[in-house]
Structure 1
């Protein structure tokens, strides 16, 4: 038996004190949300499936909801001693259980988008979708490497630690490099732990930014909208570099195949409105989703049909 199989066995987990009820396959896009995009044939089945189409390889496939947008121990990396901290995963699970109870209403009904409880619940959920995505680990590593590169060029003390100062929000601060060697030699485990800590520390910050925006929902009579394994999209037509709080940033998020949530700064327009889709299909929104997908398109309809609509829509823009 391979070492990995032994380590993953129930006996080994019990010896390490791990809770056998915990899921090692951890979704960055929750299953209750993905189920909204299940195919008509499996919508009422116990095992719901979606059409998945990879950005770069292969043919469209029917995939079980539990097998997409997931990674083993994404939020519970093992420390050098082999133990795992489930705190972040537990908090995400608790939030999912809470949101899943009201999601059918949000995804299919006409909820009051001005209601503070609705706005807080949806904002927290969307904020976690942004922060819990595995691409954030790569961003953490990239920033770490950049910081190491910058400070490696600075003067060093007798211990080989950089010294100097930096300016933040107009104030100058001395660099505290007491933990420099640990920081410089950060491991994959360290990066993943920092990633999970950001989920906990920044979710509320991002949620507050989302709450302040003008909300509206575009609705379709037919189930035309897709989602992806990176469903929250931020765009800004005025700036190349921008953040969620930058003026003019538009955030779109498919609630279901018939609903798209839009968060913008057009406060001169009516707020908390439901607008009917003005075109014959969801191509304008699906095009953006597909362009920003991490790996997969996720759809209740065959991806070939979705892509055909996107191509036809793109051709109209070129005329």
Structure 2
């Protein structure tokens, strides 16, 4: 349990992740910062990782007695500590073991599931479900002529079940991350563990960008499928990418690829373009850069 002020500010893109993009050329004594660009590249800011991509109480579970339960935030913090150790191994070109791969997969799953964008999507979905349930209940009550006192035992049991279901859906609609994040991590990690992980390394001066939405699932064949199946992780053509440093990117595929792959400037720019496209509002660089040529002036028309 936690007191009323502990860990109120909770990051959906972890500080340990963003620190890899801190500008290495900042003067001694300055607070480390990253370069933050709006998606249209119209504005740029220098921001410390502690001050971006966070919300108050994003994962806090509020108990009935008013106590703040931080078990999700604390669990994510432990995951981030383990992840940071593995990234250090990758930077030192050390071999990874099976446990390292498992931690990377959990971290990647978390980067997909823990965002406010995912929360908003789930709130919309469960809000619609709750609205339908409330409408059905209202119609039922309007068309039922029996007094409540004359209902049979069976009808009372049915009402209790319906009430419990609506309470569950109401919680899902109001706090979906608190209710579903552990389950989502378990399901998605089980799929990621079946995929092949490659570490891409930039051999040129080009550096990987990241963003406020670093997890990217890209499927070049998705537009050929029914909309219900777009975004699925199980199709052969799916690629999941996550930059982990300005020079390293994790790539998960269903294809057999080498565990370490050197890539060129052109390939780095291809992934940067992909991650810019999936960013919500901001992209992150480890240095001041000009607007990339692949961002056209009519990108937002």
With structure 1 as the length reference, what TM-score do the two structures score? 0.75
Residue 160 of structure 1 and its aligned partner are, at CA, apart by 8.2
1:53 matched residue in structure 2: 37
1:165 matched residue in structure 2: none
CA 1:209–1:44 in 2, change beyond 3 Å: closer, same or farther? farther
Aligned 1:118-137 pairs, distance under 5 A: 118-137=100-119
Tell whether 2:280 aligns with 1:294: yes
- CA contact 2:213–2:280 (8 Å) conserved in 1: yes
Runs of 5+ consecutive residues of structure 1 not aligned to the other structure: 1-15, 162-173, 313-319
How many residues get paired?
274
Tell whether 2:19 aligns with 1:35: yes
1:213 matched residue in structure 2: 195
CA 1:102–1:46 in 2, change beyond 3 Å: closer, same or farther? farther
Cα RMSD, aligned residues only: 3.2
* Offset from partner CA, 1:233-287 (integer Å, 9 cap, x none): 00112224132233321101101111111111113xx442x22213357321111
1:18 matched residue in structure 2: 3
CA 1:158–1:91 in 2, change beyond 3 Å: closer, same or farther? same
2:212 matched residue in structure 1: 229
CA 1:57–1:226 in 2, change beyond 3 Å: closer, same or farther? closer
Return the alpha-carbon distance in structure 2 between the equivalents of residues 296 and 111 of structure 1.
32
2:263 matched residue in structure 1: 277
CA 1:45–1:73 in 2, change beyond 3 Å: closer, same or farther? farther
Tell whether 2:58 aligns with 1:74: yes
With structure 2 as the length reference, what TM-score do the two structures score? 0.79
Return the alpha-carbon distance in structure 1 between the equivalents of residues 189 and 27 of structure 2.
31
Return the alpha-carbon distance in structure 2 between the equivalents of residues 230 and 40 of structure 1.
23
Residue 134 of structure 1 and its aligned partner are, at CA, apart by 1.0
Return the alpha-carbon distance in structure 1 between the equivalents of residues 233 and 108 of structure 2.
12
Return the alpha-carbon distance in structure 2 between the equivalents of residues 149 and 52 of structure 1.
39
- CA contact 1:132–1:196 (8 Å) conserved in 2: no
- CA contact 2:127–2:173 (8 Å) conserved in 1: no
* Offset from partner CA, 1:170-192 (integer Å, 9 cap, x none): xxxx99523355357x37xx645
Return the alpha-carbon distance in structure 2 between the equivalents of residues 180 and 124 of structure 1.
30
Runs of 5+ consecutive residues of structure 2 not aligned to the other structure: 145-157, 224-229, 297-301
Return the alpha-carbon distance in structure 1 between the equivalents of residues 143 and 63 of structure 2.
27
Aligned 1:1-319 pairs, distance under 5 A: 18=3, 22-42=6-26, 47-55=31-39, 59-76=43-60, 78=62, 82-106=66-90, 108-112=91-95, 115-151=97-133, 157-158=140-141, 177-182=162-167, 186=170, 191=173, 193-221=175-203, 222=205, 224-240=207-223, 241-267=230-256, 270-272=257-259, 274-280=260-266, 282-303=268-289, 305=290, 307-311=291-295
Return the alpha-carbon distance in structure 2 between the equivalents of residues 100 and 160 of structure 1.
59
Return the alpha-carbon distance in structure 2 between the equivalents of residues 25 and 43 of structure 1.
28
Residue 45 of structure 1 and its aligned partner are, at CA, apart by 6.0
- CA contact 2:12–2:111 (8 Å) conserved in 1: yes
- CA contact 2:86–2:100 (8 Å) conserved in 1: no
Return the alpha-carbon distance in structure 2 between the equivalents of residues 257 and 103 of structure 1.
12
Aligned partner of residue 221 in structure 2, secondary structure: coil
Return the alpha-carbon distance in structure 2 between the equivalents of residues 136 and 60 of structure 1.
25
Residue 25 of structure 1 and its aligned partner are, at CA, apart by 1.3
CA 1:311–1:131 in 2, change beyond 3 Å: closer, same or farther? closer
